[in-house]
Amino acid sequence: MNLSIEQVGKRYRGDFWGLRDFTLNLGPGVLGLLGPNGAGKSTLMRILATITRPTEGRVLWNGEDIAKTPDGLRSVLGYLPQDFGVYPNLNAVEFLEYIAAVKGIDGRAARQRIDELLALVNLTEARKRPLGGYSGGMRQRIGIAQALLNDPKLLIVDEPTVGLDPEERVRFRNLLSDLGGERIVLLSTHIVSDVEATATDIAVVDRGRLLAHAEPEALLSGVEGRVWEWVLPSAELPAARERWKISSTFRRADGVHVRVVSAVPPSPDAVPVAPTLEDAYLSVLEGHRAERLEKVA
Amino acid sequence: MSAPRVVVRMVWHLLRADFLERVRRYSFLVTLAATVWLGYLVGTGKLQLWIGTVRGTFNSAWIATTMALVVNTFLSLAGFYIVKNAVDRDRQTGVGQILATTRMSKPLYTLGKALSNLAVLGSMIGVLVVAAMVVQLVAGEDRRIDLLQILMPFVLLSLPMMALAAAAAVLFETIPGLRGGFGNVVWFIVWTALIPLGIQVGGLLDPFGINLVNGNLERAAAMAFGPAKRGFVLGGIDHGNDPIQIMRWEGLDWTPDLLFTRLLWVLVAAGIALAAALFFDRFDPAQNRIGSRAAKKRLARANGAVEEAEPSFVPVPAVRLTPLPEASRRFRFLDVLRAELRLLLNGRRWWWWAGAAGFLIATLAAPLDAVQKIVLPLAWMWPMLLWSSLGAREIRFDTTALLFSAARPLGRQLPATWLAGVALAMLTGGGAAVRFLAARQWDSLGAWVVGALFIPTLALALGLWSGSGKLFEVIYLVIWYIGPLNQVPAIDYTGATAAGLASGMPLVFLGMTALLMGAAVAGRRWQLAG
């Protein structure tokens, strides 16, 4: 089972490239795709889900170009788009039966699968209610259920935890970790903690380009010894913000606790702390942006 | 800023933003092209004012009045459908939710939307003002452009009618039962009822201004060529060997009485726009004023679902998914067809089924001639609002990403959608087929088959290319009204007329069905290509 993305690019109107020269090779596991808004994550997801054709490059699923033979991938694909709709007059079971039929799943197997999926996403009790009356979180869970209907070998989920309550979010993270063992799961999000909890690999994307692809441990080791924390009086925070790339702040009785990614200690009082994935992600982004600015200069 | 200035500013910006949003869409260019085509029809004499065999010299007054009446009759129908999406757009885009949180009052909103609708229709009239001048110069019968005579008919005849259509569109959008396809049917009925009423009664019941112009032209024709029984026609007409008489006509005499009748319609339009505020829900999804007890129950249940949707903590036993056996991954076309049929028929209330059953029984029991001429056309009007979802449903409910990422969406889901539409036609008109078969009327049976294929194909193609069911609803209503119902053989797609059958119209419609199917496949291909 292999998904190979080879120098893929997508150009939109006005000569704007949503994705450029993107290369990545994936095997079973959960790939967390991290990047700021507009980085090109959703473009990549849509290309992999055979919704959008790349302008250049190719994507191979087990050696087959998905632009030429999309159905080979589609029969084993589960896709949860960032924005999607449902038919408001159908209930959950009817809607999933409809999607199952379109995906080519045998009727009896589909019914059993739907029962399991509705239990999994905690919608068994709401199964007979029209989807038009569902809350945003419930609708998102229907989206998750439809993506898993055909027991996909490639599962693509774009911002899947949007609208979910904390309990459902944790449950979905666990589910993704379970699923990742025997299939390829692509999780696109800008919520670093979701990736931290599930991903076996991480790809950082910005401005349509792949900045880093590594295991979480490798990313973390890249910032080992470069994350600092110290306490500032509130009045000095604006000056510190201008000087350092601050990854987080929190106020305490003794002042503002500031966390910074930096090669050198930002203050004599600063102490090194264990890095988080968020620190590593920000470090990759900042490193790349600084490099780009240097090139421009 | 003073309160009146704030109000004016609000209405102005509501109008401006909505107007700009609409005119920057490609569909507006199509609308303008259709308007230019209307001007071309007038210029080439295909749409012409006739008082018997009398027409006016092609001067400013005659051409502008002709075009103003063309606007009032055709654009009052088509224009209503074009602009009946202003409130819906705010609902769909979510902008309405933002507007609802501002200080803007409901009457201001509905008035602003009506003005925006009028601005869109007014811009189409503006195109025709230019077209009128071009037509006059090209025709060359009188090259003296009289700007006042050009503008007066458009401003005083057309704008009040357009204001009425613009305000009615907002009213229909604010009343839940009239928002969708049913409202489109209702406007068509209102329109077909108002035209003869206006022509016959005139005065304060003539928003189209046809009676007004007709009376004046009759008198002018009588003065020019003597009294005679003439008829008023707005359209293309073949006078055969009768000689065409041309008179010089310098336009309507705009007396205060006439001005008052036209101004009255502007006031009525403003009243309708303000009345719409009474029904406007201010984008509150919890409001549902119209609906059956069952619908209200369903809504209450749904609202209940929302309230109990996000519990703080509900312990749920861990569920593990059973792997799907490979053998269960086998596509069955019948499963998709069944699912598409269910999607098509889902949510129909008892009265819909009762109506469909009534038509089925009527097609089985009524005299064969009546079945052919009336009952079958009516039976095939009943499911119009279901067919109108074909091809457009995926865009409307934003399910394209889910469906197009499934295997072979072109070869599986699209044919199933189409066949579900055909099955619906066969179900609702099935009684007629049995009767034709029993009577061995093979030509009628053939026409029935073509009709059952043509209607859903038309719906599918138009739905796919327009992304909405409205275009099908409008076009189908018009061809249904002219063809089968008014027995015009050239548009008889059900075999309702003997002349249509004899001249091989079913074959023509079969050919059109094939073309439309090609268009539908191309449309879906285009959607799939992203």
Nearest to B397 among A74, A87, A94 (CB): A87
The pLDDT of residue B307: 40
Q: Please compute the mean of the pLDDT values over residues B97-121 and round it to a whole number.
A: 87
The pLDDT of residue B289: 42
Pairing of strands A255-261, A246-252: antiparallel
Q: Could A101 and B338 be called an inter-chain contact, meaning their C-beta atoms sit closer than 8 Å? A: yes
Burial A215-253, CB ≥16 within 10 A → b, else e: ebeebbebbeebbbbbebeeeebeebeeebbbbeeeeee
Decide if A205 contacts A41 (C-beta within 8 A): yes
Q: Could A107 and B306 be called an inter-chain contact, meaning their C-beta atoms sit closer than 8 Å? A: no
Decide if A39 contacts A17 (C-beta within 8 A): no
The pLDDT of residue B382: 93
Q: Please compute the mean of the pLDDT values over residues A272-283 and round it to a whole number.
A: 90
Q: At B2, is the pLDDT very low, low, confident or very high (cuts 50, 70, 90)? A: low
Written as one letter, the residue type at B382 is W
For chain B, how many residues are written? 530
Q: Which residue of B has its CA nearest to A133?
A: B302
Q: Which of A64, A68, A76, A98 to mutate to test the interface with B (most CBs of B within 10 A)?
A: A98
Q: At B285, is the pLDDT very low, low, confident or very high (cuts 50, 70, 90)? A: low
Taking 50 as the threshold, does the pLDDT of residue B267 lie above it? yes
The pair phi, psi for residue B175, each rounded to 5°, is -90, 115
Taking 70 as the threshold, does the pLDDT of residue B294 lie above it? no
Q: Could B330 and A108 be called an inter-chain contact, meaning their C-beta atoms sit closer than 8 Å? A: no
Q: At B312, is the pLDDT very low, low, confident or very high (cuts 50, 70, 90)? A: very low
Contacts of A85 in chain B (CB under 8 A): 397-399
Q: List all residues of chain A from 48 to 87 with a beta carbon under 8 Å from chain B.
A: 49-53, 71, 74-75, 77, 79, 81, 83-87
Q: Could B332 and A165 be called an inter-chain contact, meaning their C-beta atoms sit closer than 8 Å? A: no
Q: Which of B296, B301, B328 to mutate to test the interface with A (most CBs of A within 10 A)?
A: B328
Of A184-188, B95-99, B147-151, B444-448, the range with the lowest mean pLDDT is B95-99
A262 CB neighbour count, 10 Å cutoff? 18
Gap from A98 CA to chain B (nearest CA, Å): 5
DSSP string for residues in B446-471:
HHHHHHHHHHHHHHHHHHHHHSSSHH
Contacts of A126 in chain B (CB under 8 A): 305
Nearest to B347 among A89, A108, A120 (CB): A89
Gap from A290 CA to chain B (nearest CA, Å): 35
Taking 80 as the threshold, does the pLDDT of residue A103 lie above it? yes
Nearest to A122 among B316, B324, B407 (CB): B316
A57 to each of A67, A125, A205, A209, B284, how far by Cα in Å? 10, 46, 17, 14, 47
Contacts of A133 in chain B (CB under 8 A): 298-299, 301-303, 305-306
What residue has token string 């002709």?
B66
Q: Could B319 and A119 be called an inter-chain contact, meaning their C-beta atoms sit closer than 8 Å? A: yes
Q: At B478, is the pLDDT very low, low, confident or very high (cuts 50, 70, 90)? A: confident
Decide if A64 contacts A78 (C-beta within 8 A): no
Gap from A150 CA to chain B (nearest CA, Å): 7
Gap from B182 CA to chain A (nearest CA, Å): 17
Beta-carbon contacts below 8 Å between A and B: 147
Pairing of strands A271-272, A255-261: unpaired
Contacts of A46 in chain B (CB under 8 A): 401, 530
Of A74-88, A126-140, B291-305, the range with the lowest mean pLDDT is B291-305
Largest CA distance in chain B: 94
Taking 70 as the threshold, does the pLDDT of residue A3 lie above it? yes
Taking 70 as the threshold, does the pLDDT of residue A197 lie above it? yes
The pLDDT of residue B303: 44
Q: Could A103 and B406 be called an inter-chain contact, meaning their C-beta atoms sit closer than 8 Å? A: yes
DSSP assigned state of B481: I
DSSP string for residues in B51-113:
ETTEEE-SSHHHHHHHHHHHIIIIIHHHHHHHHTTHHHHHHHHSHHHHHHTSS--HHHHHHHH
Gap from A20 CA to chain B (nearest CA, Å): 18
The pTM of this model reads 0.75
Taking 90 as the threshold, does the pLDDT of residue A234 lie above it? no
- HSE, CB side, 13 Å, CA atoms: give it for residue B114: 33
CA angle B97, B18, B77 (to 5 degrees): 110
Q: At B317, is the pLDDT very low, low, confident or very high (cuts 50, 70, 90)? A: low
Decide if A50 contacts A127 (C-beta within 8 A): no
Gap from A22 CA to chain B (nearest CA, Å): 20
The pLDDT of residue A58: 95
The pair phi, psi for residue A262, each rounded to 5°, is -160, 145
Q: Could B407 and A117 be called an inter-chain contact, meaning their C-beta atoms sit closer than 8 Å? A: no
DSSP assigned state of B156: I
Percentage above 70 pLDDT, chain B: 92
Contacts of A146 in chain B (CB under 8 A): 402
Taking 80 as the threshold, does the pLDDT of residue B448 lie above it? yes
Largest CA distance in chain A: 68
Q: List all residues of chain A from 109 to 148 with a beta carbon under 8 Å from chain B.
A: 109-110, 112-113, 116-117, 119-120, 122, 126, 129-130, 132-135, 137-138, 146, 148
pLDDT, averaged across chain B: 87
Most confident of A6-10, A78-82, B235-239, B394-398: A6-10
Question: pLDDT, tens digit, for every residue of A113-168?
Answer: 999 999 988 899 999 998 888 988 898 899 999 999 989 999 999 988 888 888 88
Angstrom distance (rounded) from CA A213 to CA A205 = 9
Q: Could B329 and A104 be called an inter-chain contact, meaning their C-beta atoms sit closer than 8 Å? A: yes
B297 burial class (0-12, 13-18, 19+ CB within 10 angstroms)?
A: exposed
